[in-house]
Amino acid sequence: MPRVQPALELTHVTEWLNGTDRRIEDHLAVEEPLEIRIDGKPLTVTMRTPGHDEELAAGFFWTEGLIESPGQIVEVRKISVKNAARDNIVSVELGDHSFDPELLQRNFFAASSCGICGKASIAAIRVRGLTHPNADFRIDPELLCALPALLRDQQQLFGRTGGLHAAALFDSAGKLLVIREDIGRHNAVDKVIGWSLVKGLLPLSDCAMMVSGRGGFEIVQKALAAGVPLLASVSAPSSLAVKLAREMSLTLVGFLRDRRFVIYSNPERCRS
């Protein structure tokens, strides 16, 4: 299959429409494994869409609690492997750090639909000391209703494949700060947070995050790790996501589309 760009592949398919079939070209979202290393040693593998891999690794380290401050990351770099078709390894070099040996011995595989595979329990996330986000953040409901269209307009890869999730950051005035796409919604979030970490913007106390798809538990915990006060999605949250959002005073918005949304926790941030 010819590669159009790192995140896309071109293929031929048969389209059936109104009783007639024809051969046409179609774009596929690329899904490939990315090995993340820590100081040269393999840590985990995640299935992702190539692109912004360094941001993905940095965001992963932050949202998984492997580092406590952005300054602990000395360098994030791609590693080339001889005769490999693509560079699918990222190494993160850390400065001052200490780890629980059991943490590094976990062999967790993050599939494209799940960002917390291998976690022993919910408690393993809650004991990380996540703090309540900015209580003073506000966004006008009319601005909130405009975010889905802004997100969709910037989803360049989704428009060509229909198979990618997106995560984006907006300020309280509705200005788009960054958007990232990936076949895994949790990867898209990690890329956004990794971008923020590299830019020195953490915590994201004055930003709203919007994600395509549903607002699952793993997305809520990643938003909390980045200090996001409001998380919105175009689909439904899970029960566990709602429980965590209420426990940590995160404003969680679901079904944000067509000038309608549902607030599952802390509605005071969504008032004019």
The per-residue pLDDT for range 245-265, each reduced to its tens digit, is: 999 999 999 999 989 999 999
Predicted pLDDT of residue 83: 63
Q: Who has greater pLDDT, 79 or 154?
A: 79
The one-letter code for the residue type at 170 is: F
Predicted pLDDT of residue 86: 67
Predicted pLDDT of residue 271: 80
**Which tokens go with 64?**
């998984």
Portion of the chain with pLDDT greater than 70, in percent? 81
CATH 1.20.120.1200: does it fit domain 32-126? no
Predicted pLDDT of residue 25: 83
15, 150, 155, 171, 243 from 205: Cα distances, Å: 47, 21, 24, 10, 21
The one-letter code for the residue type at 34 is: L
Predicted pLDDT of residue 13: 82
Side-chain-side CA neighbours of 1 within 13 Å: the count stands at: 16
Alpha helices per DSSP H over 2-140:
53-63, 101-105, 123-126
**pLDDT classification of 33: cutoffs 50, 70, 90:** very high
Alpha helices per DSSP H over 163-216:
185-198
* Distance from C-alpha of 8 to C-alpha of 31, rounded to nearest angstrom: 9
* Distance from C-alpha of 97 to C-alpha of 266, rounded to nearest angstrom: 35
pLDDT of residue 174 exceeding 60: yes
**pLDDT classification of 130: cutoffs 50, 70, 90:** confident
Pair 248, 224: CB distance under 8 Å = yes
* Distance from C-alpha of 118 to C-alpha of 79, rounded to nearest angstrom: 25
* Distance from C-alpha of 256 to C-alpha of 212, rounded to nearest angstrom: 10
Pair 70, 202: CB distance under 8 Å = yes
Q: What is the mean pLDDT of residues 106-129?
A: 50
Which is nearest to 45 in space by CA: 34, 60, 59?
34
Q: Who has greater pLDDT, 7 or 78?
A: 78
User: Are β-strands 41-48 and 3-5 bridged in parallel, bridged antiparallel, or unpaired?
Assistant: unpaired
**Which tokens go with 189?**
């979030």
What value does the CA radius of gyration of the chain take, rounded to a whole number of Å?
A: 19
pLDDT of residue 110 exceeding 60: no
Length of the chain, in residues: 272
**Which tokens go with 255?**
């079904």
Binding site, annotated residues? 255-260
117 is catalytic: no
- What is the pTM (predicted TM-score) of this model? 0.86
Task: For domain 141-270, give the CATH superfamily.
Answer: Cytidine Deaminase, domain 2 (3.40.140.10)
* Distance from C-alpha of 244 to C-alpha of 15, rounded to nearest angstrom: 43
**Which tokens go with 65?**
């609690």
Task: Provide the mean pLDDT of the chain.
Answer: 84
pLDDT of residue 107 exceeding 70: no
Which of 114, 117, 207, 270 is labelled catalytic? Answer: 114
Which is nearest to 251 in space by CA: 237, 260, 259?
237
In the chain, list all ranges with CATH 3.10.20.10. Answer: 32-126
In the chain, list all ranges with CATH 3.40.140.10. Answer: 141-270
